Chains A and B, each alone.
Chain A
Amino acid sequence: MLFREDKLARLDAGTIRRSVGWYRWTHDLVEVTGADALEVLEKIYVSTISKVLPGRTKYTAMLDENGEIIDDVIVMHMNETVYWVSTLYGPRLIPWIEAHAQGKDVQTRLITCDWDMYAIQGPDSPAAMEKLLDEPLGEMKRFAVASNAIGGVPVYVHRSGFTGENGFEVYGAADRTGEIREKIAEAVKSAGGREIYTLEVYVRSIPMEKGFALKQDFKHLNPFECGLGWSVDLEKDFIGKEATLAIRDNPRYQMVGLVFERESTEDISIWERVYLYGVEVGRCAQAIYGYTVDKNIGFATIRAGIPEGTRVTVGPNGSPATVVSKTFC
């Protein structure tokens, strides 16, 4: 929970938006290899993975048979034969892959503990990266991943992030993490930035302002109900396609943003009830303070057809909020 008056959280958020900040936030990493790896990844993800060339990465979603999102991930094509999948739910992803890879030549391995990921995010991140890396970045595109080194320690650099700002992710061997961390701290400091301390700022507040959700926000939703329809390739086959087609034509819910009127939202936990004229019409996935927009904001899943601008109430004390687009700035 974040509050307007939390000075440290405000400083952390401002650092990412106006300068550059760093933090360690390794997602679970699953390595997928084998001759049939691409075929299986095509089956479980909604996007066309074959278009992701070596050295490129893609944000995509995984559905169950009902067409509901059960994970959203970044698929990273590390080299011809190796994919990494960055998820928050590695131990659950592996059985899912295995269940859909019967008789296929596919191997999966949880490599989370082998790698640490540091995020370097903010408009000044390119300057920090230039100071940090042994080899110049050059014209690295968004959603590209490349080998590099920090003080001789091999790393992968991924131009991506979860902040809506220019940013990079650095993957280094976990047993060299101390050296890497020290160099990142130095480089970011010399670029005018600092370490980010408040987890909820970089996991929730900063991403939510830009419309970036966590898997839990997509609960029971299909990509066409939460603004991720662009990621779905309906030309190919994937798990949940039949249900997806039905939902695309007749969505049940919609994912929206909420702007709260009260100065704080202490009575709104995760998945709190949303009411329209006292009738429950959905759930608020989470409310948080956004320091860039200087408002209490939230994501909600509500009945399809409720337009932006509608005033609803949330939670046990009838906290008033207005339905808005889920991208706040």
Chain B
Amino acid sequence: MLKERLESVKCFKTAWGRLITEEEAYTQVNRQIAAVCANLFQVMRIFEPSWEKRTEAICEVANMMNMAVAGTPEEQKAYVDMSLYEAFNIPELCEKSSWLGGITGDSGDEWENMAGRVIQFTRDRVEKELDTCPWDIVGSELCNMTTSMFTANFDLASSNGTENEVALNMCQARGCGNKHCRVVAERRDRYGLPKQEWLEHMQQPVDPIHDTPRERMVKEGQCLRNGQYTQAFGEETSLEKAYHWVAQMGWVWSVQFPMMAIREMAPDEDEFLRVFRIVFATAGKNQFVEPFAREGLRQHLGVPRWVDDNDGRLLGSYIMYMLDVQQVPYRTERWTEDETWICLKTEDFTARYEMAPLDELVDAYEAQWNGAAKTLVSPEWSCVIEGRDDDDMIIKVIRREDLRMV
């Protein structure tokens, strides 16, 4: 007897009808956020030539913002109690003790497709090892910045009020060219270690435990391997939930937090935006400068042969794809060989996480997509975003003379 119908899986359709699976889209959103972060960090390096100064600055902000998310010191303690109890159920794991901070990072890592494992988890020591990191292209400043965020987790979980008891080190980092990321927290009283400054968090641990050999490393996080993340105590997160969490929150820590510090590095607002747009425009042009990059995109989106290489819908469909991947709702208003208009709520685009709007995303993507128009289609084409200060905005891919092309 024949099947009555095909089985269904979760996908979205590109503008040309090709299906993109949830797994592909989830992989793409993680890498896309990392790409925006990488561009942003180039802006930072232009404004602040000192590695130490810029790293310290983003560490400071990221730590402060992580603490602030939890509210007042009293609210911070309650926040930790509640979130840990929700996550782990087991009262011992909700005990206010800094070592706990180490395990809370595990779920966030896996949701962001950072594939790895908790190597050791005791009262005195936590060691976490990652085999992959979508953010491994950004640079060592970001690796350092993550330690400042972990520090906030440890501070929040501390039994000493809000000052943690551990020495926390990212002993290895994919972003520094190592085989693994390795984060180790060791209790200072147990190991006789001093309290650390922001730039002292990439040292070696006192008591290294294990190094996973290459043949047993994994290439994808649990959500892709197994369809869900399950932490050691059985709590589960579906791929769907992890994907949505990343689409909301991934921007907050990797783009918004450092952005706050980087704006301060610029001499003024205009200069920040000038350099910011130049960097993103360059990234956009480079995206499709190679013929095989254009060919690859056509294949990925399912662009039919009859669509000419100088058709603006190539870029229009790429932008729609990127919005779908990022779970940003939109409506196609015009879709002809002369123009593409994509309408969306400004808030949906800028405030992926409602509490943390990121208006700079409009500048970033306008510059990047405009740059991409020149190489993906041709210099006859431009991308502009209109209505950014209104409730609704329109992303337009149009033919336009551009006498001062950036």
Contact = CB atoms under 8 A, between A and B. Distances in A.
Interface of A: 1, 3, 5-6, 8-9, 24-28, 88-91, 112-113, 116, 197-200, 203-204, 214-216, 262, 264-267, 269-273, 283, 286, 315-317, 319
A36 B119 CA distance: 47
A28 B230 contact: no
Given A266-B212, A271-B228, 14 more contacts: A1-B118, A112-B91, A197-B123, A198-B121, A199-B122, A200-B121, A214-B233, A216-B234, A264-B212, A265-B216, A267-B217, A269-B226, A270-B232, A315-B218
28 contacts: A3-B119, A3-B209, A5-B210, A9-B120, A25-B92, A26-B90, A26-B92, A28-B90, A28-B91, A88-B89, A91-B89, A112-B91, A113-B91, A116-B91, A197-B123, A199-B121, A214-B234, A216-B234, A266-B210, A266-B212, A267-B217, A269-B222, A269-B226, A269-B230, A270-B230, A271-B230, A272-B226, A317-B215
A243 to B, nearest CB: 22
B304 to A, nearest CB: 36
Contacts of A272: 225-226
Given A1-B118, A25-B92, A317-B218, A271 B226 contact: yes
A270 B222 contact: yes
Contact of A266 (B117, B230, B233): B117
Contacts of B294: none
Nearest to B219: A316
Contacts of B210: 3, 5-6, 264, 266
B119 A1 contact: yes
A242 B324 CA distance: 45
A113 B95 CA distance: 11
Nearest to A3: B210
Contacts of A6: 120, 209-210
Given A88-B90, A215-B234, A216-B234, A197 B124 contact: yes
B220 interface: yes
Nearest 6 pairs between A and B by C-beta? A216-B234, A270-B230, A266-B212, A266-B216, A26-B91, A267-B216
A286 B232 CA distance: 8
B220 A25 contact: no
A317 B220 CA distance: 12
Interface residues of B, number: 31
A90 B94 CA distance: 14
A269 B230 CA distance: 8
B159 interface: no
B378 interface: no
Nearest to B85: A91
A315 B228 CA distance: 14
B222 A27 contact: no
B231 interface: yes
Contacts of A90: 89
Contacts of A216: 230, 233-234
B216 A262 contact: yes
B216 A27 contact: no
B89 A89 contact: yes
B92 A273 contact: no
Contacts of A113: 91
Given A24-B92, A216-B233, A269 B225 contact: yes
B123 to A, nearest CB: 5
A87 to B, nearest CB: 9
